[in-house]
Amino acid sequence: MALQSLDIKARSATTTPPPDVRARGAVPVAKLIDISKCIGCKACQVACMEWNDLRDEVGTNAGTYDNPRDLTAQSWTVMRFSEVEVEQDRLEWLIRKDGCMHCADPGCLKACPAPGAIVQYANGIVDFHEEHCIGCGYCITGCPFNIPRISQKDSKAYKCTLCSDRVAIGLEPACIKTCPTGALVFGTKDDMVLHAEGRIADLKERGYSHAALYDPKGVGGTHVMYVLQHGDKPELYANLPRDPSISPLVSLWKGVTKPLMSFGLGLAVFAGFFHYVTAGPKEVEEEEKTD
Amino acid sequence: MQVTRRQFFRICAAGVGSSSLAALGFAPGEALAEVRAFKLARTTETRNTCPYCSVGCGLLMYSLGDNAKNTRGKIIHVEGDPDHPVNRGTLCPKGAGLLDFVNSPHRLQYPQYRAPGSKEWTRISWDDAFSRIARLMKDDRDKHFIAKNDKGETVNRWLSTGFLAASASSNETGYLTYKVVRSMGILGFDNQARV
Amino acid sequence: MTNHWVDIKNTDLVLIMGGNAAEAHPCGFKWVTEAKAHRKARLIVVDPRFTRSAAMSDFYAPIRAGSDIAFLGGVINYLLGHDRIHHEYVKHYTDFSFLVKDEFAFANGLFTGYDAEKRKYDKSSWGYQIGDDGYVRVDPTLQNPRCVYQLMKAHYSRYTPEMVATICGTPKEAFLKVCAAIADTAAPDKTMTIMYALGWTQHSVGSQMIRTGAMVQLLLGNIGVAGGGMNALRGHSNIQGLTDLGLLSNLMPGYLTLPNDAEQDYAAYVGKRTLKPLRPGQLSYWQNYPRFHVSLMKAWFGDAVTADNNWGYDWLPKLDKGYDLMQMFEDMGQGKVNGYVCQGFNPLGSAPCKVKVSNSLSKLKFMVVIDPLVTETSEFWQNHGEYNDVDPAKIQTEVFRLPSTCFAEENGSLINSGRWLQWHWKAAEPPAETLSDQEIMAGIFLRVRALYQKEGGAFPDPILNVAWKYKIPSFPSPEELAREFSGKALKDVTDPKDPGRVLVKAGEQLSGFADLRDDGSTSCGCWLFAGSWSEKGNLMARRDNADPYGVGQTLNWAYAWPANRRILYNRASCDPSGKPYDPTRAIVAWDAAAGKWGGADVPDFKIDSAPQDGMNPFIMNPEGVARFFAVDAMAEGPFPEHYEPFETPLAVNPLSPKNPEVRSNPAARVFKDIWPTLGKPDAFPYVCTTYRLTEHFHFWTQHVRLDAILQPEQFVEIGEELAKEKGIKAGDHVRVKSSHGFIVAVAVVTKRLKALTIDGRKTHTVGVPIHWGFMGLTRNGYIANTLTPYVADANSQTPEFKAFLVNLEKV
């Protein structure tokens, strides 16, 4: 049922091409995040948790409004608050909703060694299927935005699904629907680019001469885009990467090791792989530290 | 590009993992992508209004089952009513979290009583609660009711018991509360609008 | 709100002051973003803090908490001084030309008639000159020095931009920039909306702050028009409705007022409130007071009240003074109150000066808490460590805690800020033994009544005679109650112009308050809601969101009081000839051919009164026009004057530096024991203000896991400069101490709170969000009201939560 509306474009660690006969009825969709309209109310965080049956820990306050402080396996989106004075005596409170960007060229999917654990649908959604996830954490390496998180509970990777279960039946994602100010908008990618143009014109009229759309080409464009008041300074927004690209590690695998692997590295490395599967990502990090 | 030994190992591992696992029988055919099933398919949808601030956002509340005799509906999801002229389907972080208010572990479950000087609650029946409260109120009213003031003017007021009405109870509750409280002659009567 | 949420989209300029709509009313704030997006509207925010609303603004001006009248008085001075006002509007639709009594005067910060000992005014000089014809004398040329225009101009001439900067700390350029933007909306085809909330109400001069805002709007002709208005954003989902229904110490449903002791005679009581027109040809709608009153008494007591017993007049309790919440806790502290019922109200959190509230509650013999949740109030007697350090053994109060349903488990209506009565439907069964509020009220009442029937007792008459004809007496249904407050005919209601014609048959629901009669033939529990459940059915449950005129007036969505009008005073959107000032935003207009008013909204006017008849738009006032001069309606005076908060960093009121009596509101009630408790700037040098966060709702969502995750722990906000001075870093724990107590919380150090220069001295502000307590799923915290003084507004007795003094230290 779901597959009819969400045709598969790509699957992790899979050489078999997906069925490709349909005329791509599913048009590419996009979420547009207009930071100039975002009040940081965190309704999207709540809607995300509520819809996806997640409940993060009740944490502490670390002296900021950011809470939860970072993305977790239970918090697939968080607000990042920045107080900046781009112009003298003109304070701005820039609040960026952080979460999966649903890259057209998804580094996570490229890096993922588990067949079918990461799927890209024809409409652009990049979805994790945790039942196939082996918890290796490669998706984190592959992600230029540092989004996926491995759960402490089941050692599997989690992130925003763009509410693929809602989109599959024709609904908008939960965060989009709830957004009180209309900072979040959802539609076809083309419509969202158009909408952004209107917003950028409005911002320019209000004195934000560098207002721009953030749809970075280094990852083939994204299905989650930002309207930035200061398009020339993305780093103002809690270090939004200026020019994100897929980690060279993933490119290397794609370009060099793939043919090599078939001949040489075979079983020895295969054992190493299963080490990841059984020991989990935490130990991987420890190993890395010893390097 | 610098690649450390460990990184190289990881790259290779990734490469082997992908192709080799597939070759060894973890066939993509078994890894069919399937989105999570849509959880509201046959739930019952009820229209309501958010009880928090005064925007009065429209809500859709989804509860288990179809109201058949043998089901007990429990709310499993709340979202905004797209038909509502004000919120048009949107909800703020409080409204979007109403599910956890309705189902809060801090909802009261049954009447409780705390005796003078006691450190704890005891469970009581509604009948006991109502009867005891009525007794206390009547005794206090009978003792302290002021029918006439010092000048002999008819004032018919009861000042030694007060009532604070709610902030989110319905008009129907408010109207009934008004009738009850004022009929007894209570003047110390306010609602949350006062503060 | 004079207007409503969706209507904000029609504005050209939004002024958010005394509120923080983006934070506290996010889904309503969307209509600000719509106005910005679709009308190129501008948003100005004036606030002590750079709030979430400020983050969305085109211009932000800082202001010291508690100084808003000085700021707005400065705006009035700017508008009058630069003559940037809507001339035709103020001339025809306000009291500009009305002459004031010669005895009325203002000097040294006081109006005539002040009694320092009683802290009250003799208001006899605060009135109009009345001519021999019984009407107010006017001077249409506005030259008479006793006309309201001239008096007002003189009064506010003292509010110069320099004075504004001195009192408010708002830089002169920023203030003038705000003035210029506001002044642009004096054009007949431009408008501004003012959105305010508890940031104006919670001051010792709160009511007058709101009045000053309304005066600005009247000068600009922005009341009664689409996209304009004075828009109070109420803090809770139904305090609008509960206030409309008279659940306040001095009120009855529909803003009818309880009699005071001296009003022993029914005819005099009702006559005093039946206001006769003060100008020729005016409607003066309160002339209908007897119809509203008698219909209420019939709904309340049924057949037991008749003309013979003055419709049960003696059954109404009479007031010798106000018995508002703070008066009650004062009396409770003195041992004069034995019983208290808290229905969905958490006064330990919501009332000022927690220690006083706690001590007062401890003197009760019994307390009843009716609530869906475990409130702090219900456990005031329990030791919760540092957060509620009491000894249960010493507290002799019997406490009952009764579980009530929440919105999701009942049918009923709530009234939003736009005055919409919206019906909701039950979606689930309540938990365990929980009962509805109606069942709980009935449970208590029926047992009290049974005791009186059995035993007799003190004046049982009103209790025994309450009309209680509900099908299930122990559970009056929401539908029965809604029909009752909407009203029905007890006998056939006939057309006064044609007595043979029956308008409403006996037993039928009334179609509106025009059907009400004062002869006992109609019953209506709240005249404002009359017609909400008519013979057409439950109009509150309507769900047609069509907006045929495109101006956001969805007349078939729910029901708005009064008479389904969506924008109050909407006649004022048209010029005296009945043509809309701005045809692109027309809401009503005079249709000469049809001989009546009509349009996108329900006219707030006598529908067939032709423009040439000269009836004016403010039909609830006996003058027919809006008042700049408040006559005797306010406690402090007919024109708002700036007074300092009771806890102020200033030694004197800069407007009247020589009169110590007027540093703070001279007409505010201050209980004797409170004076010495008020904090002084030497010990408590920082201005403090309390407020909500968008992630939480009051003291409820501390019990909601999803919201507890968003803001898990109590914090206070401190500017970077002050933090540096005190050696405080973000994340440190700090102790905030006032004259009334202390709290300990995490410090959020921010650029959003900047020091202001007040009267030449650098003044810091500390921000204290409310929301935390000792019963939630959030981390335990201190009740914010531990810090607040026990003083309040002179008119509404709303506590001064928004401006007081504290000190601060790193823990």
pLDDT in tens, C484-531: 999 999 999 999 999 999 999 999 999 999 999 999 999 999 999 999
CB contact under 8 A, C414 and B138: no
CB C684 within 8 A of CB C805: yes
- The nearest CA of chain A is from the CA of B33 a distance in Å of 7
Q: Tell me the pLDDT band of A16, cut-offs 50, 70 and 90.
A: confident
The answer for residues whose C-beta is within 8 angstroms of residue C719's C-beta and 6 or more apart is C749, C750, C751, C752, C753, C754, C755, C764, C765
State both tokens at C597. 């008013």
Task: Return the pLDDT at C121.
Answer: 98
**Model pLDDT, residue A253:** 60
Distance from CA of B21 to the nearest CA of A (A): 8
Per-residue pLDDT, A19: 77
- Under the banding of pLDDT at 50, 70 and 90, the label for residue A23 is low
DSSP state of C137: P
Residue B19 has what pLDDT?
Answer: 42
Query: Above 60 in pLDDT, residue B8?
Result: no
Q: What is the pLDDT of residues B114-139, one digit of tens each?
A: 999 999 999 999 999 999 999 999 99
| Region C693-715 average pLDDT | 98
Cα dihedral sign for C127, C133, C135, C139? negative
To the nearest whole Å, the CA of B2 is away from the closest chain A CA by 9
* Residue A24, pLDDT score: 60
Determine the average pLDDT of the residues in C379-405.
98
Cβ neighbours of C52 in A, within 8 Å: 39-41, 93
At residue C237, the pLDDT reads 97
For residue C78 the two structure tokens come to 């700017």
Lowest-pLDDT range, A267-271, C115-119, C232-236? A267-271
Chains that touch B (3 or more CB pairs under 8 A): A, C
Q: How far is A147 from chain C (nearest CA, A)?
A: 19
Q: Indicate if the pLDDT at residue B159 is higher than 70.
A: yes
pLDDT digits (tens, 9 = 90+) for B170-179: 999 999 999 9
> pLDDT value at position A254?
54
**Tokens coding C243:** 């206030």
Q: Is the ipTM of this complex over 0.95?
A: yes
Q: Report the SS3 class of residue C421.
A: strand
User: Distance (Å, rounded) from C-alpha A142 to C-alpha C558?
Assistant: 52
Reported confidence tier of residue B33, pLDDT bands at 50, 70, 90:
low
Mean pLDDT over B48-74 rounds to: 95
Q: Write the CA distances from C336 to C325, C352, C776, integer angstroms.
A: 14, 19, 32
Q: How far is CA C238 from the centre of its chain?
A: 12
Residue A106 preceded by cis peptide, ω within 30:
no
Structure tokens that stand for B116 in this block? 């003078």
What residues contact C438, with CB distance under 8 A and at least 6 apart?
Answer: B172, B173, B176, C475, C476, C477, C478, C481
Model pLDDT for residues C84-100, shown as the tens digit of each residue: 999 999 999 999 999 99
- Indicate which CATH number applies to the domain containing A35: 3.30.70.20
Rounded CA separation C686/C764 (Å): 5
Report chain B's terminal Cα–Cα distance, integer Å.
65
Q: Is the pLDDT of residue B146 over 60?
A: yes
Site from B59, B118, B194 to mutate, C interface, most C CB atoms within 10 angstroms: B194
Least confident of B61-75, C43-57, C142-156, C240-254: B61-75
Q: What is the pLDDT of residue A21?
A: 77
Cβ–Cβ contact A197 with C under 8 A: no
Minimal C-alpha gap between C133 and chain B (Å): 36
The predicted pLDDT at position B30 comes to 44
Supply C736's token pair: 């905030």
Question: What's the rounded Cα separation, in Å, for the pair C664 and C739?
Answer: 17
pLDDT at position A247 = 82
Using an 8 Å CB-CB cutoff, list chain A residues near C55. Answer: 39-40, 92-93, 95
> Does a structural domain hold residue A84?
yes
CA distances from A287 to A208, A279, C347 (A): 47, 11, 56
Measured at the alpha carbon of residue C589, what is the angle toward residues C588 and C592, in degrees to the nearest 5?
145
pLDDT exceeds cutoff 50 at B16: no
Say whether residue B93 is in contact with chain A using an 8 A CB cutoff: yes
Q: Is C538 helix (H, G, I), strand (E, B) or coil?
A: strand
Q: Which of A193, A184, A232 is nearest to A38 (CA)?
A: A184
- C710:A45 CB<8 A: yes
pLDDT confidence tier of residue B35, bands split at 50, 70 and 90: confident
Helix (H) or strand (E) holding C626: none
Confirm whether A200 is domain-assigned. yes
Answer yes or no: is A129 within a domain: yes
Using only C-alpha atoms, chain B has a radius of gyration, in whole angstroms, of 30
Asked if the Cβ–Cβ distance from C779 to A60 is below 8 Å, we say: yes
Output the 3-class SS for chain A: CHHHHCCEEEECCCCCCCCCCCCCCCCCEEEEEEHHHCCCCCHHHHHHHHHCCCCCCCCCCCCCCCCCCCCCCCCCEEEEEEEEEEECCEEEEEEEEEECCCECCCHHHHHCCCCCCEEEECCCCEEECHHHCCCCCHHHHHCCCCCCEECCCCCCEECCCCCHHHHHCCCCCHHHHHCCCCCEEEEEHHHHHHHHHHHHHHHHHCCCCCCEEECCHHHCCECEEEEECCCCCHHHCCCCCCCCCCCHHHHHHHHHHHHHHHHCCHHHHHHHHHHHHHHCHHHHHHHHHHC
Average pLDDT over residues C310-320: 98
C473 touches chain B (CB under 8 A): no
Choice among A93-97, A233-237, B12-16 with the minimum mean pLDDT = B12-16
The pLDDT of residue B32: 56
pLDDT exceeds cutoff 60 at A4: no
Q: How many domains does chain A have?
A: 1
Kindly state whether residue A220 falls inside one of the protein's structural domains.
yes
| A246 assigned to some structural domain | no
The mean pLDDT value for C337-352 works out to: 98
Q: How confident is the model at residue C123 (pLDDT cuts 50, 70, 90)?
A: very high
Chain A residues touching B78 at Cβ < 8 A? 50
**Chain centroid offset of residue C306 CA:** 34
Q: Which domains does chain C have, with CATH numbers?
A: 6-232 (3.40.228.10), 660-810 (2.40.40.20)
For residue range C399-416, what is the model confidence (pLDDT) as tens digits? 999 999 999 999 999 999
The CA–CA distances, whole Å, from C779 to A55, A99, C772 equal 16, 27, 8
Tokens matching residue B110: 């049954």
Asked if the Cβ–Cβ distance from C709 to A180 is below 8 Å, we say no
pLDDT surpasses 50 at A267 = no
Structural domain includes residue A269: no
Q: Which two tokens stand for residue A76?
A: 């697939």
**Token pair listed for C455:** 């035993």
Q: Chain C, 672-731: which have a CB under 8 Å from a chain A CB? A: 694-695, 705-715, 729-731
Q: Which two tokens stand for residue B34?
A: 């399937």
A126 inside domain? yes
Cβ-proximal residues to B40 (8 Å cutoff; 6+ apart), any chain: B62, B77
B52-64 confidence digits (pLDDT tens) = 999 999 999 999 9
Which residue range is the domain that position A78 belongs to? Answer: 2-16+27-53+64-231
Q: pLDDT (tens digit, 9 = 90+) per residue, A61-116?
A: 999 999 999 999 999 999 999 999 999 889 999 999 999 999 999 999 999 999 99
pLDDT (mean) for C370-389? 98
* Residue C672, phi then psi, degrees to nearest 5: -50, -45
Q: Among partner residues A50, A166, A182, which is closest to B97 by beta-carbon distance?
A: A50
Beta pairing partners, C412: C424
pLDDT of residue B34: 76
Sign of CA dihedral C180, C185, C186, C192: negative
Q: Which whole-number Å values give the CA distances from C421 to A249, C25, C424, C542, C551, in the listed order?
A: 61, 18, 10, 10, 20
Name the token pair of C647. Answer: 């806890």
**Distance of alpha carbon A83 from the chain centroid:** 24
| Dist. CA C607–CA B76, nearest whole Å | 49
Residue C296 pLDDT grade (very low, low, confident, very high; cuts 50, 70, 90) = very high
Any idea which residue has 């006439």 for tokens? Answer: B148
Q: What are C575's two structure tokens?
A: 């010029």
Q: Which residues contact C510 (CB under 8 A, 6 or more apart)?
A: C486, C487, C488, C489, C493, C504, C516, C522, C524, C530, C531, C534
Instruction: Indicate the pLDDT class of residue C16, thresholds 50, 70 and 90.
Output: very high
Buried b (16+ CB within 10 A) or exposed e, C351-368: bbbbebbbebbbbbbbbb
* Arithmetic mean of pLDDT over chain C: 98
B14/A119 CB distance under 8 A: no
Strand ranges (DSSP E) for C696-784? 715-719, 733-738, 741-750, 756-758, 761-763, 765-769
Q: How does residue A252 score in pLDDT terms, banded at 50, 70 and 90?
A: low
pLDDT at A218 over 90: yes
Q: What pLDDT does A17 receive?
A: 82
Q: How far apart are CA A87 and CA A69, in angstroms?
A: 28
User: Over 70: is that where the pLDDT of C48 sits?
Assistant: yes
Calculate helix-pair angle for C325-333, C354-361, nearest 10 degrees. Answer: 60
Contacts of B110 (CB under 8 A, 6+ apart): B123, C403, C432, C433, C434
Q: Could you tell me which residues are beta bridge partners of residue C767?
A: C689, C717
Examine the pLDDT at A281 and tell me if it is beyond 50: no
| Binary contact (C34, A182; C-beta < 8 A) | yes
What is the reported pLDDT for C384?
98
In-domain check, residue A244 = no
- What residue type is C514 in one-letter code? A
pLDDT > 50? residue C44: yes
Cβ pairs bridging A and C (under 8 Å): 116
Four-residue CA torsion sign, C289, C290, C291, C294? positive
* pLDDT higher than threshold 70 for residue C727: yes
Q: A32 vs chain B: nearest CA distance in angstroms? A: 16
Question: Would you state the pLDDT for residue C245?
Answer: 98
C-alpha to C-alpha distance for A79 and A99, rounded to whole angstroms: 9
Q: What percent of chain C has pLDDT over 70?
A: 100
Q: Is A201 on the interface with C (CB under 8 A)?
A: no
Asked if residue C378 lies in contact with residue C364, where contact means CB atoms within 8 angstroms, the answer is no
Q: Residue C169 above 70 pLDDT?
A: yes
